[in-house]
């Protein structure tokens, strides 16, 4: 039975690695300028952890195979290096991985979170609420009008609670159900929650960030491939959480201008 | 002048009558068994709930007969509603994390064996100990009652994030009474566990028998001691957090609810609260909690493995030191649950370093286990199989944690099935394997009967292979950005993953069915198993020096005197045995064995 | 009568063997742990347990303190609260009750001889209980005063924390009063252990320390 267990462990270990090495199920391809940093970090981690995983499971299997059911005639032996050797090994191996990945990872994190958006970044606001995302563009004046929570109404489709009668800045705001952006232009995404915790995840764009009611957070990113990508909510927000999604379309600058004009006309 | 009695040496008379013996018992062994029974009821309930979830995820439009029974909100025609899925998910997780993974390895086995392994007659405060079980049971009943009230249990997940959990019924079904009942239940649970710590810690520090120094305590004693220290701080923080949540619900306060929120087209009357405050309080508890779930398992595996390797582990001090380091670091890592939560990104980096570093003591323990198998005399039985299985599962689960410890990678893996795969491997599998290993090892001592070995091995094989079939694919789903806590997969980019979900569902149902072999084994053997000798595993610690099952006062009125450490295996012992009991009479000094 | 195991086993010398069994020669050393084992004079478990309890209660109030600090920073709606003056009188009463409790405990001889139930020393115990009751009543008066100003639990985050912290403390004080009454009952039946009295006393003094901490916190932050 010990030999069977050893073989089973090895089969499971190698079998587990096959879908990863064979790229069976992968995230949508990266379409952002910063995404390669994340993808590189991910592959580095996969290689290092993959080796540790395989090596340790195989050692477990080999030891079970070799040392099970040995009788009194076999001497109890001590691993060369003993406990101290293993402690040193752990510090060296894990320590070097921690330094490599932890320190390198700081750079990628900084790119996303510590660098402020450039002066030319296009502001777009996204509001999350049970169970939809709505987007707002500031219009020609470049200013977002104030939100009046008491005026928010699904019924009248005043999703942002804008008072276009009294607030000049709100008059030219463009509210949409889909987020379209021009390619190769940095986007400054302002995140606002209407009611509860939600999260903004665009796998293809390699961005994910929670909405925090009461805090106005923001993200910035640049898309480098035209296409249509999904935005999904990843913070449990109620029964419609699974269906809370929107589309992010990356267009050529001309197509984007056309689209924005169309949407402005519909306000 | 009156002479007051001297301080009591712990001594109580044998219980009389059925109620005193089996219901309201102050005997730590009965309390341990009661906790185990509670854990069993909770795990079967939680497992059935998970089957319902899995069937629904694989076949979203399938009608599941009887599923509407759970809540008055019902499921029309057996077709699960999205809210019912989330409610079942919440209850599954709450039951498992609290009433299985804290109760079974810590409260059940700790209560039964901690006093015996240190050589004591009972815990120092048996009535408080009894109360800790009954309080926990009340918490369980309150939790389960939420199925039967109003529009059912809360759907906010076991993490119950505010404001969803704090704004009340407007946020959705179950967010009224169901949510309050959840918070009340968990607050009561915390009190129950604190009462437990009140016994565990003094038992370990003050009731050890003569000669039972700290370095002679079995690994399991250290594990329960460290766990009860963690529980002390963790549960004492979750309890006030739940109180604050309840107040936001029923008293109109605004601890967690920010201003200007509009739920269901209505302005919420709360203002000024902090959303992230709940997350900080919860995870300050939540991270130590998962180590509370795993550390006893590490102790059990170390203990069971030493016995079945017929040699001590390579270094007792290193294993204990690593467990202590893990417990200490566990307080500094909780923010890794909040990397993309909106907290200061600098904090995210700050939390990621201790998270990566905690890998080191965990790796050391795994390496010590592996290194101890080298040139040992490994015995294969159900207990050792589950101990070895634990090692394999813990390696797998621990390695997936290494991805999640990096905030950059967490951008892609947060709230995906990768996280679900990681924590199921370490908690639902490894920690449960620890419970199984403990059961197969200690059942003879607890009940005086042997479990059926053949059934135990079949149970191991089906569970080991089955668990990998269930939870390894979760990681692939996570890499493919499959988001968690969804009742159905309607996004374009996840449609191709549904066959994977179906495979997982079938594996889950099969593995779940295999657990009935275990249930049958323990129930059948309890009454009709082969009578167990005092020391069936040729083990050395004090529980194996007393009859199976032990008398009410453990050591029959005698006080054991400990002369050896707990892992004298592979030595030239008395009577030609290869081991020396911890209380072997002084004067039998084992020869150092020949070593290669 | 329980056997005095300490006496019975004093003569046994215990050789100590290497912890992992095989890699060090045996050393002759009675024990290597800093704490002594039961039969060698370890402290009564209740004195450990009270510290466990104090640690748990401290963690709870630490959590509430951090909640208060975070909440103060999160919303713009914090309104400073002026503490009712009676709180300071209550503080004096509570500290006085600790003094009277110590006066009772001090008369308790460590050798195990206790005052007879009719001894005037027992009066100090009852005075402590009465002062404790006055403290709780005084807290109730403080709440009433706030309510007269229109400040209830949900009126403002500052009042929320005021009621929450003082109520949580008062609940623990009531528990302590229960403990003192238990002491009194045991005393009348001449079955009171020294360790029980020490535990109740430590707990009661901790209520003082906790209250002073809360008072300073409320005064500074509220």
Domain count, chain B: 1
Neighbors of chain A by Cβ distance (3+ pairs < 8 Å): B, C
The CA-based dihedral angle spanning residues B498, B504, B505, B507, taken in that order and rounded to the nearest 10 degrees: 150
Which two three-digit tokens encode residue A84?
A: 């101290």
Q: B18-49 as b/e, with b when 16 or more CB fall inside 10 Å?
A: eeeeeeebbbbbbbbbbbbebbbbbbbbbbeb
Residue B63 forms part of a structural domain? yes
- Helical residues (DSSP H) of chain A, grouped into ranges: 2-21, 35-67, 82-97, 104-113, 168-171, 253-265
Q: Which structural domain, as residue segments, surrounds residue B96?
A: 26-258+275-566
- C-alpha to C-alpha distances, A187 to A127, A183, B487, B530, B578, nearest whole angstrom: 15, 10, 32, 72, 72
Strand partners, A249: A180, A228
Residue C38 pLDDT greater than 80, yes or no: no
Which two three-digit tokens encode residue B534?
A: 């005092």
- Give the gap in angstroms from C-alpha A183 to the nearest C-alpha of chain B: 21
Q: Which helix (H) or strand (E) holds A198?
A: strand A198-202
Higher pLDDT, B526 or C39: B526
A interface mutation test: which of B356, B362, B412 has the most A CBs within 10 A?
B412
With contact defined as beta carbons under 8 Å apart, do A172 and A145 qualify? no
Chain C CB contacts of B567 under 8 Å are: 20-21
Domain boundaries, chain C: 1-42, 45-221
With contact defined as beta carbons under 8 Å apart, do A85 and B372 qualify? no
Which two three-digit tokens encode residue A256?
A: 């984007």
Nearest-by-Cβ selection for C17 from B124, B214, B565: B565
Beta carbon pairs, A and C, within 8 Å: 6
Chain C CB contacts of B208 under 8 Å are: 37-38, 42
First-to-last alpha carbon distance for chain A, in angstroms, is 72
- The interface residues of chain B toward chain C in range 410-469, judged by CB-CB distance below 8 A, are none
Higher pLDDT, A120 or B11: A120
Strand partners, B262: B267
Is A78 within 8 Å of chain C by CB? yes
CATH number attached to the domain at A122-265 = 2.60.40.420
Banded pLDDT at B498 (limits 50, 70, 90):
very high
> For a pLDDT cut of 90, what percent of chain A falls above it?
88
- Give the gap in angstroms from C-alpha C18 to the nearest C-alpha of chain A: 15
Mean pLDDT to the nearest integer, B168-192 = 95
For position B77, what pLDDT does the model report?
75
- The interface residues of chain B toward chain A in range 149-168, judged by CB-CB distance below 8 A, are 155-157, 161-164, 167
Residue B27 pLDDT greater than 80, yes or no: yes
Burial class (CB in 10 A: 0-12, 13-18, 19+), C10: exposed
Mean pLDDT to the nearest integer, C5-19 = 40
Q: Quick check: helix, strand or coil at residue B53?
A: helix
User: To which residue do tokens 């374009």 refer?
Assistant: B492
A interface mutation test: which of B406, B467, B507, B579 has the most A CBs within 10 A?
B406
Is B281 within 8 Å of chain C by CB? yes
Q: Which helix (H) or strand (E) holds A238?
A: none
Whether residues A56 and B370 touch (CB distance < 8 A) is answered with yes
Residue B73 pLDDT greater than 70, yes or no: no
- Residue among C172, A78, A100 nearest B570 (CA): A78
Is A217 within 8 Å of chain B by CB? yes
- The interface residues of chain C toward chain B in range 119-148, judged by CB-CB distance below 8 A, are none
Nearest-by-Cβ selection for B411 from A53, A153, A208: A208
Q: At what angle do helices C45-74 and B177-206 cross, to 10 degrees?
A: 140
Location of each CATH 2.60.40.420 domain in chain A: 122-265
Residue B436 pLDDT greater than 80, yes or no: yes
Sort strands A245-251 and A179-182 into parallel, antiparallel or unpaired. Answer: parallel
Residue B273 pLDDT greater than 90, yes or no: yes
The residues, ordered by sequence, that sit 6+ positions from A48 with a Cβ below 8 Å of its Cβ are: A97, A100, A101
Banded pLDDT at C40 (limits 50, 70, 90):
low
Residue B414 pLDDT greater than 70, yes or no: yes
For position B592, what pLDDT does the model report?
53
Q: How far apart are the C-alpha atoms of C131 and C145, rounded to whole Å?
A: 21
ipTM: 0.96
The CA-based dihedral angle spanning residues B440, B443, B444, B450, taken in that order and rounded to the nearest 10 degrees: -60
Q: Which helix (H) or strand (E) holds B42?
A: helix B28-58
B interface mutation test: which of C63, C70, C186 has the most B CBs within 10 A?
C63
Whether residues C60 and B237 touch (CB distance < 8 A) is answered with yes
Over A81-137, what HEC string results? CHHHHHHHHHHHHHHHHHHHHHHHHHHHHHHHHCCCCCCCCEEEEEEEECCEEEEEE
Which two three-digit tokens encode residue C178?
A: 């229960």
With contact defined as beta carbons under 8 Å apart, do A160 and A146 qualify? no
Which residue of chain B comes nearest to A158, CA vs CA?
B265
Whether residues B251 and C21 touch (CB distance < 8 A) is answered with no
pLDDT tens column, A40-63: 999 999 999 999 999 999 999 999
- Mean pLDDT, chain B, whole residue set: 93
Which residue of chain C comes nearest to A212, CA vs CA?
C74
- C-alpha to C-alpha distances, A116 to A62, A210, A221, A224, B90, nearest whole angstrom: 52, 18, 10, 19, 38
- The interface residues of chain B toward chain A in range 350-389, judged by CB-CB distance below 8 A, are 352-353, 356-357, 359-360, 363-364, 366-368, 370-380, 385, 388
> In this structure, what CATH number is given to the domain that contains residue B432?
1.20.210.10
Banded pLDDT at B311 (limits 50, 70, 90):
very high
Nearest-by-Cβ selection for A214 from C22, C23, C74: C74
B interface mutation test: which of C60, C72, C118, C188 has the most B CBs within 10 A?
C60
pLDDT tens column, C120-149: 778 899 999 999 999 999 999 999 999 999
Q: Quick check: helix, strand or coil at residue B529?
A: coil
Residue B596 pLDDT greater than 50, yes or no: no
Which residue of chain C comes nearest to B229, CA vs CA?
C52
Residue B299 pLDDT greater than 90, yes or no: yes
Banded pLDDT at C116 (limits 50, 70, 90):
low
Residue B3 pLDDT greater than 70, yes or no: no
With contact defined as beta carbons under 8 Å apart, do C50 and C176 qualify? no
> For a pLDDT cut of 70, what percent of chain C falls above it?
77
- Residue among C31, A75, C53 nearest B232 (CA): C53
pLDDT tens column, B456-492: 999 999 999 999 999 999 999 999 999 999 999 999 9
For position B72, what pLDDT does the model report?
53
Q: Quick check: helix, strand or coil at residue A210?
A: strand
Mean pLDDT to the nearest integer, B68-84 = 76
Q: How far is CA B435 from the centre of its chain?
A: 8
Q: How far apart are the C-alpha atoms of C181 and C184, rounded to whole Å?
A: 5
> For a pLDDT cut of 70, what percent of chain B falls above it?
95
CATH number attached to the domain at C45-221 = 1.20.120.80
């Amino acid at each position: 039975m010990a030999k069977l267990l050893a073989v089973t462990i090895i089969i499971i270990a190698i079998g587990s690695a096959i879908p990863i090495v064979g790229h069976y199920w992968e995230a949508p391809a990266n379409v952002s300028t910063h995404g390669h940093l994340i993808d590189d970090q991910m592959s580095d981690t996969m290689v290092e952890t993959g080796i540790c995983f395989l090596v340790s499971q195989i050692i477990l299997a080999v030891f079970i195979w070799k040392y099970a059911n040995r009788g009194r005639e076999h001497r109890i032996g001590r691993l060369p290096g003993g406990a101290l050797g293993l402690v040193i090994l752990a510090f060296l191996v894990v320590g070097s991985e921690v330094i490599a990945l932890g320190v390198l990872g700081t750079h990628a994190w900084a790119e996303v979170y510590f660098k402020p958006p450039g002066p030319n970044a296009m502001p777009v606001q996204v509001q999350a609420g049970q169970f939809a995302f709505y987007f707002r563009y500031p219009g020609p004046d470049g200013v977002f009008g104030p939100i009046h929570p008491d005026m928010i109404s699904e019924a009248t489709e005043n999703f942002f609670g804008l008072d276009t009668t009294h607030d000049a800045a709100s008059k030219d705001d463009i509210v949409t159900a889909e987020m379209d952006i021009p390619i190769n232009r940095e986007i400054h995404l302002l995140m606002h929650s209407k009611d509860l915790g939600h999260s903004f995840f665009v796998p293809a764009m390699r961005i994910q960030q929670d909405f925090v009611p009461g805090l106005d957070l923001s993200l910035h990113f640049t898309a480098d491939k035209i296409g249509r990508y999904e935005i999904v909510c990843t913070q449990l927000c109620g029964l419609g959480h699974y269906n809370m999604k929107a589309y992010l379309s990356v267009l050529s600058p001309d197509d984007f201008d056309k689209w924005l004009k169309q949407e402005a006309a519909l306000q | 002048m009156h002479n007051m009695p001297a301080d009591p040496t712990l001594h109580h008379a044998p219980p009389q009558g059925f109620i005193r013996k089996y219901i309201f018992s102050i005997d730590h062994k009965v309390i341990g068994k009661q906790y185990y029974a509670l854990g069993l009821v909770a795990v079967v309930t939680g497992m059935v709930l998970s089957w319902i979830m899995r069937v629904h995820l694989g076949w979203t439009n399938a009608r599941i007969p009887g599923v509407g029974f759970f809540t008055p909100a019902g499921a029309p025609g057996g077709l699960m509603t999205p809210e019912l899925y989330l409610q079942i998910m919440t209850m599954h997780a709450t039951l498992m994390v609290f009433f299985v993974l804290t109760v079974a390895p810590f409260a059940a086995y700790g209560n039964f064996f901690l006093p015996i392994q240190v050589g004591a007659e009972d815990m120092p405060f048996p009535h408080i100990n009894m109360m800790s079980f009954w309080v926990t049971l009340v918490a369980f009943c309150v939790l389960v009652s939420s199925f039967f009230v109003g529009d059912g249990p809360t759907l906010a997940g076991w993490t119950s994030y505010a404001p969803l959990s704090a704004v009340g019924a407007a946020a959705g079904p179950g967010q009224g009474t169901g949510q309050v009942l959840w918070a009340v239940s968990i607050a009561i649970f915390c009190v129950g566990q604190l009462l437990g710590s009140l016994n565990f810690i003094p038992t370990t520090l003050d009731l050890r028998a003569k000669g039972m120094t700290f370095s002679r305590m079995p690994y399991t004693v250290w594990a329960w001691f460290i766990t009860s220290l963690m529980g002390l701080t963790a549960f004492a923080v979750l309890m006030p957090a739940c109180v604050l949540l309840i107040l936001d619900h029923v008293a109109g306060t605004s601890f967690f609810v920010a201003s200007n929120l509009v739920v269901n087209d209505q302005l919420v009357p709360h203002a000024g609260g902090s959303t992230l405050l709940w997350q900080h309080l919860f995870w300050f508890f939540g991270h130590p909690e998962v180590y509370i779930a795993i550390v006893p398992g590490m102790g059990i595996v170390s203990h069971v493995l030493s016995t079945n390797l017929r040699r001590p582990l390579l270094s007792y001090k290193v294993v204990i030191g690593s467990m202590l380091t893990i417990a200490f670091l566990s307080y500094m890592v909780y923010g890794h649950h909040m990397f993309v939560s909106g907290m200061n990104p600098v904090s995210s980096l700050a939390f990621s370093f201790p998270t990566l570093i905690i890998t080191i003591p965990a790796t050391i323990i795994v390496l010590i286990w592996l290194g101890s198998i080298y040139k040992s005399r490994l015995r294969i039985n159900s207990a050792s199989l589950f101990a070895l299985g634990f090692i394999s599962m813990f390696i797998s689960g621990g390695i997936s944690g290494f991805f999640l410890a990096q905030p950059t990678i967490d951008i892609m893996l947060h709230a995906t099935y990768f996280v679900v795969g990681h924590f199921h491997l370490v908690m639902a599998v490894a920690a449960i394997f620890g419970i199984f290993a403990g059961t197969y090892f200690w059942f003879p001592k607890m009940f005086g009967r042997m479990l059926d070995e053949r059934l135990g091995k079949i149970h191991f094989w089906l569970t080991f292979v089955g668990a990998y079939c269930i939870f390894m694919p979760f990681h692939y789903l996570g890499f493919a950005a499959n988001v968690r806590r969804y009742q159905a997969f309607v996004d374009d980019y996840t449609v191709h993953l549904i066959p994977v979900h179906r495979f997982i569902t079938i594996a889950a149902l099969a593995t779940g069915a295999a657990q009935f072999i275990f249930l049958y084994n323990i129930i059948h053997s309890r009454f009709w198993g082969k009578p167990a000798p005092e020391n069936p595993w040729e083990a050395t610690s004090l529980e194996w020096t007393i009859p199976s099952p032990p008398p009410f006062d453990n050591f029959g009125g005698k006080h054991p005197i400990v002369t050896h450490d707990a892992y004298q295996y592979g030595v030239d012992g008395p009577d030609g045995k290869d081991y020396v009991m911890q209380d072997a009479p002084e004067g039998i000094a084992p020869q150092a064995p020949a070593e290669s | 009568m329980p056997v005095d195991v300490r006496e019975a086993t004093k003569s046994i010398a215990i050789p100590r063997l290497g912890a992992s069994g095989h890699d060090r020669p045996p050393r002759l050393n009675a024990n290597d742990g800093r704490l002594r084992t039961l039969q060698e004079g370890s402290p009564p478990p209740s004195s450990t347990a009270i510290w466990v309890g104090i640690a748990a209660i401290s963690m709870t109030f630490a959590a509430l303190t951090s909640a208060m600090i975070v909440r103060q920073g999160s919303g713009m709606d914090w309104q400073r609260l002026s503490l009712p003056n009676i709180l300071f009188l209550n503080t004096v009463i509570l500290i006085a009750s600790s003094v009277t409790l110590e006066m009772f405990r001090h008369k308790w001889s460590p050798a195990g001889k206790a005052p007879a139930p009719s001894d005037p020393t027992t009066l100090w115990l009852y005075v402590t209980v009465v002062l404790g009751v006055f403290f709780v009543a005084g807290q109730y008066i403080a709440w009433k005063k706030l309510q007269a100003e229109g400040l209830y639990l949900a009126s403002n985050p500052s009042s929320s924390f005021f009621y929450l912290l003082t109520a949580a403390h008062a609940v623990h004080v009531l528990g302590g009063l229960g403990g003192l009454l238990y002491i009194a009952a045991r005393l009348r039946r001449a079955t009171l252990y020294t360790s029980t009295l020490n535990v109740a006393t430590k707990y009661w003094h901790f209520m003082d320390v906790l209250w002073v901490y809360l008072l300073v916190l409320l005064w500074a932050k509220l």
